[in-house]
Amino acid sequence: MTNRINLSPNGPTFSRLIFGTMRLGIWGANMNTSQYEKITQKSIDLGVTTFDHADIYGHYTTEGEFGKMLKKQPSLRQKMEIITKCGIKLVTPNRPNHKIKSYDTSKARIIESAENSLKELSTDYIDLLLIHRPSPLMQPDEIAEAFTQLRERGKVRYFGVSNFTPSQFSMLNSRFELVTNQIETSINHLAPMTDGTLDQCIEKRIKPMAWSPLGGGKVFTDLEDVAVQRIRKVGMELMEKYSATGLDQILLAWLLKHPAGILPVLGTTKIKRLEAAVNALKIELTEEEWFELLEASAGSEVA
């Protein structure tokens, strides 16, 4: 079982690892209802009880497929926490009125998206709703109005953002209390560690979530890349020391050590990889080992 963590002083308690659903549907494994049920139950059994969605996943179909599974097994809903995201308007035959890819964070759009997600997911409430991408046209007061209405009606319990810069986060947080910022960060994407994003999370006492916590699998596929070669060399040595079953465990342990309390969003569709990720929680790298991996990624020692 994984341990649990509070996202913020006034926020929800989620599992330390989060199950990302993006690849369960037509954007990946194309699972049927029985397969959804099997991997969801296994995830819950392992203590990974928080499931990350977005309205756009699977061209607006993955929430509905997950919801079919919950309709079949409604008792699972009380054993999990559901995150979903809104704000991106994707060009797809499933949304013929979308002429171009754009963002819409208007009050009407947020409420409409949340209502649709509730229906698709076959649930009465969403634990956490995120604005998926910051729009240049977003109006924080209007977003706050939408969040307030959804919370007062019991449809969404907590709110946050995804892919926001520190200044964008501060702007919206000044109007409505946010509990997380879901960002891209990994051994291959170090920017949040230096651009103030993770510093702000520590300052605000909120826990960030990390999508693509293994860098999109680059360390496993792009073997000609010199940075990948350096990371793999150090990682393999640490695998041997900690009796790890895969490099993914070492790289997750590296991310988990950061003082911001990062919650990795796992993108796997395989139970074996899910089990390996849970076992990464047992690995406690030393500070020097952490810096060895940082140096391998950056290509130079710290200044």
Mode of pairing for the β-strands spanning 88-89 and 13-15: unpaired
- Three-state DSSP at 160 gives strand
Quick check: is 103 catalytic? no
| Max Cα-Cα span within the chain | 56
* Placement of tokens 């998926």 in the chain: 132
SS (H, E, C) 43-60: HHHCCCCEEECCCCHHHH
Residues 6+ away with beta carbon under 8 Å from 260: 198, 201, 202, 207, 208
User: Alpha-carbon distance 27 to 14, whole Å?
Assistant: 25
At 263, the amino acid letter reads: L
Q: Residue 100 carries which DSSP code?
A: S
Active-site entry in 36, 57, 158, 242: 57
Facing residues of 211 across strands? 184
User: Alpha-carbon distance 100 to 89, whole Å?
Assistant: 8
Residues classed as catalytic: 57
